[in-house]
Amino acid sequence: MSDGNKIRRAEGRIDKEAAEWLVRRDRGLSEREARELKDWLDRDARHRMRFGIHEQTWERFSTLEEIEEVEEFEAQPVRVGQRGSKPDFKKLSRAILSLAAVLLLGLVIWVGIGLIDGAERVEYEGRYVVDAYETRILSDGTILELNEGARAKVRLTDSFRRVWMHQGEAHFHVAKDEMRPFVVYAGGTEVRAVGTAFNVRVDREGVYVIVAEGRIHFSNRASEDEPGDTALSFSEQLDAGQASSLRLGASNAVPFVETHTYDELARLLAWKPETLEFSDAPLGDVVTAFNKRNTIQIVLAAEELETMPIEATFRSDNVLAFTRLLELTFDLKAERVAQDEIVLRMP
């Protein structure tokens, strides 16, 4: 087989895999599948490129099907852990029928873009307005976690990766790409990284940045899409464990920098759901783990409940499901005595 045929067969295989991953993501990824998709994207730059092209084509189909939403693209969440639901055969049929068109149009877009001299290919673009926690794997392999109430815009091209945080909080686990720094603009500030993990929150008071892994550069450089002074009045380098905050509207503002312990970082990032696994753990310890991560607090009404052994796996934000399991498994009574309090009682 000639080298040219080998290349074409490899490109065809990548195209097929990219389209299949897009269909699977559209119907909802489990936690294991989300990790597999990230591994696949990280494995080869061609994977990320073809996935991004197919994603653009997929969005065009969505726009044609839902013409009333043409003014705003709103990204769908990665639905972790949703298993056992009945398949939507109508949606599945539409996805299968669209798959061939996705492959064909993706190839046409790829060839067409290559013929445009000097044009920069948009690898990915999305707008997010979320009313609940969402996770998204971007086309470069970056994992984006959005907290409730976040508003953001993402744009990835051949030469840059940029995010505009307009409101709320997000956590970024950035895929390393030294040729394309990852930049987040928030409230007239810039957070720049190559491959690391950090958190950005912006509200009416100011901007707050936390570095979980690696190193970032934090400055007050505004992007071309944001009003603000482009002259730098500060530029800080922050390492893992450090956080910086900046009040908005203050003249000649200088950010406040502080260093946190691991436990303090965990508390600051507690809004990010985790998978909690318990094996023969005392119920008192399990309740403490949930209470540290949620506004809804669990109260044990009897001392003997403290030592009751528990074996379960739950998302850290799924308090109601956890207490419901205790009712069904141990015949306990879970009483919602207030908006933010559940009392567990003996049967």
The pLDDT tens digits for 278-323 are 888 999 999 998 888 788 899 999 999 999 998 888 778 788 888 8
Q: Which of 157, 47, 20 is nearest to 102 (CA)?
A: 20
Residues 23 and 152 in one domain: no
Structural contact between residues 202 and 173, judged by C-beta atoms closer than 8 angstroms: no
Among the candidates 96, 119, 142, a domain finishes at 119
> CA-to-CA distance for 7 and 14, rounded, in angstroms?
11
158 and 204 housed in the same domain: yes
Averaged confidence pLDDT in the chain: 78
Domain match, 112 and 3 both = yes
Phi, psi of 181 (to 5 degrees): -55, 150
CB 155 within 8 A of CB 180: no
Q: Are residues 87 and 14 in the same domain?
A: yes
Mean pLDDT for the stretch of residues 19-31? 78
**Structural tokens at position 346:** 């003996």
Task: Please tell me the total count of domains within the chain.
Answer: 3
Residues 169-228 pLDDT 10s: 999 999 999 899 999 999 888 999 988 999 999 998 899 999 999 999 999 876 555 544
Of residues 140 and 8, which shows the higher confidence score? 140
Taking only the tens place, the pLDDT of each residue in 55-77 is: 665 555 444 444 444 344 444 44
What average pLDDT does range 101-124 have in this prediction? Answer: 54
The enclosing domain of 137 has a CATH number of 2.60.120.1440
Claim to verify: residue 194 and residue 314 sit in the same structural domain: no
Q: Which of 226, 248, 272 is the last residue of a domain?
A: 272
3-state secondary structure of 188: coil
In this prediction, residue 58 carries a pLDDT of 56
Q: How many CB atoms lie within 10 A of CB 83?
A: 7
Identify the pLDDT of residue 320: 86
Burial of 263 (0-12, 13-18, 19+ CB in 10 A): exposed
Which domain does 140 fall in, by range?
A: 120-272
User: What CATH number is attached to the domain comprising 301?
Assistant: 3.55.50.30
Answer yes or no: do 131 and 113 share one domain: no
Flag whether the pTM goes above 0.75.
no
Residue owning tokens 């730098």: 232
What is d(CA 171, CA 24) in angstroms, rounded to the nearest whole number? 24
Rounded to the nearest 5 percent, the helix, strand and coil shares of the chain are: 35, 30, 35
133 shares a domain with 33 = no
Asked if 131 and 259 sit in the same domain, the reply is yes
How large is the C-alpha radius of gyration of the chain? 23
Task: Give the model's pLDDT for residue 64.
Answer: 44
- If asked whether residues 42 and 112 sit together in one domain, one would say yes
Do 248 and 113 share a structural domain?
A: no
For the residues 102-117, what does the mean pLDDT come to? 45
**What pLDDT does 152 receive?**
95
Single residue among 272, 301, 317 that ends a domain in this structure? 272
Residues 327-342: tens digit of each pLDDT? 888 889 999 999 889 9
Could you tell me if 106 and 243 lie in one domain?
A: no
**pLDDT grade for 79, boundaries at 50, 70 and 90:** very low
H-state helical runs in the chain: 3-27, 31-43, 45-65, 89-115, 262-268, 283-291, 319-330
- Both 136 and 256 in a single domain? yes
Q: Which residues of 105-124 are buried (b: 16+ CB within 10 A; e: fewer)?
A: bbbebbeeeeeeeeeebebb
Helix (H, G, I), strand (E, B) or coil at 11: helix
